[in-house]
Structure 1
Amino acid sequence: MKMNQRWLGSWAFMMIVLLAQCDKAKEVEPNDENELITTVRLNFSEIGTSTATTFAFRDVDGEGGSPPSAFEKITLKPNTSYKVTVEFLDESKSPAQDITKEVKEEADEHLLVFTPAPASLLTYTYDDKDSRNFPIGLTGTAKAGTAGTGKLKVQLRHQSPVGGNPVKNGMPGPGSDDVNLDFDVEVR
């Protein structure tokens, strides 16, 4: 009988320890719910003129399924500066949901990253900041380089707090992608 009581006591102790460990693991996991984004619009307005052009990616059924219905090449003038605004939509719903508003509301958890390849293709300067003075990227200035072709990687990084502590530090490293697109770019 004592053997059964010891075994039962040991089993109960192990279950308490195991449950306590599970609770601790849940506490440090980030709340990283990525948004469904089916449409990305990059709005380029040439500084000093009224010329504005929108370049879009659109895949209404999301990842998988049908191919994107739009993935437009970005065409810019050499050595020209542009005011850039970015819009995100979820068009899988009717009416479409404007995810840009959510990104603004959760600015402390989002960072847009613009990576041109080659690097000389264009430069991007952030115009907007979150409450901790880190860049967001929904508005900025792009300056096209000399004539050439390449890619512009556009990433919307979701950088949710971990264990109640912010992880966004102005760098792309922490978090996961809500959007990761490679636009073709031609500067001519």
Structure 2
Amino acid sequence: MVKKSFFLSSLLSSVLLISSCKKDSVEAADENELITSVKLTFATGGITQTFAYADPDGDGGKAPIIEIINLKANTTYTMTIEILDESKNPVSNITNEVSTKRDEHLFVYTPSPASLLTYSYGDKDSRNLNVGLTGSVKTGATATGKLKVQLRHQPPINGKASKDGSITPGSDDVNIDFNVNIQ
């Protein structure tokens, strides 16, 4: 009887152990994109200006080239962003991927000082959350400062959207500080 009880107890423990080791549904890794170029295009009154970030060899190696953004004071611009991976042949336009996966991406534009300019989002994802591929920029008075441009990659976790409209979830695909002159 003790042998039978021990056997049943061992069998039950094994079943419980095996069932408790069941893995949660984990999605395939959705890695950050390699981005070697970022172009910000500002348009107003028929005039278009593009300012670029270029890091052809990626992180490490040579320092990136970051153009200074020069804009007019107290002016409203339409702004678009283009992001590329020029390490591939042909060049990979990451802008298209971000547009396709807009539910997983958020551009964040942070001026310093805050009075330098104001960014307003012009596009939304399927849940009506901001994306930032296009928008408008209203410059302030004559000043100098910085514009931090971040692309937050916010993929789903365990089948649930992580993007919640804030900068918190995810990781940076892009994190660039452009110097800005408002004249």
TM-score by structure 1 length?
0.86
Tell me which residue corresponds to 1:35: 33
Among 169, 172, 184, the alignment partner of 2:164 is 169
- Does residue 16 of structure 1 match 2:18? yes
Fraction of identical pairs, as percent: 53
Match of 1:112 in 2: 107
Corresponding residue for 2:62? 66
Structure-1 separation of matches of 2:131 and 2:90: 26
**Is 1:93 aligned with 2:95?**
no
Number of residues paired by the alignment? 179
Task: In structure 2, give the amino acid aligned to 1:179.
Answer: V
Structure 1 SS opposite 2:18: helix
- Please tell me the root mean square deviation across aligned C-alpha atoms, in Å: 2.3
What is the CA-CA distance between 1:57 and the residue it aligns to?
A: 0.3
The whole-number CA distance in structure 1 between the counterparts of 2:161 and 2:117 is 31
Letter in 1 for 2:46: S
Letter aligned with residue 36 of structure 1: L
Q: C-alpha displacement at 1:16, in angstroms?
A: 3.0
1:52 corresponds to which residue? 48
Deviation at 1:120, TM superposition (A): 0.2
Tell me the SS of whatever aligns to 2:96.
helix
Alignment partners' CA distance in 2, 1:10 and 1:115: 58
Deviation at 1:17, TM superposition (A): 6.2
Indicate the larger mover: 28-37 or 59-68.
28-37
TM-score (norm 2): 0.88
State the alpha-carbon separation in 2 of the partners of residues 118 and 40 from structure 1.
22
Following superposition, the deviation at residue 67 of structure 1 comes to 1.7
| Partner in structure 1 of residue 116 of structure 2 | 121
Partner amino acid, structure 1, of 2:102? A
Unaligned runs of 5+ in 2: none
Whichever residue aligns with residue 114 of structure 1, its letter is: Y
One-letter code aligned to 2:133: L
1:18, distance to aligned residue in structure 2 (A): 7.1
SS of 1:100's equivalent in the other structure is: helix
Residue by residue over 1:84-110, the C-alpha shift from the partner in whole angstroms, topping out at 9 and shown as x without a partner, is 000000000112110000000000000
Select the structure of larger CA radius of gyration.
Answer: 2
**Paired residue for 2:74?**
79
1: CA distance, partners of 2:149 / 2:70: 15
User: 2:128 — aligned with what?
Assistant: 133
> Pick from 123, 127, 150: which aligns with 2:145?
150
- Report the Cα offset of residue 31 of structure 1: 3.9
Query: Aligned partners of 1:124 and 1:109: how far apart in 2?
Result: 20
1:41 and 1:55 in contact (8 A); partners too: yes
Cα deviation, 1:129-165, whole Å, max 9, x if unaligned, reads 1111111100000001011111100000011011111
Which of 153, 158, 176 is residue 181 of structure 1 equivalent to?
176
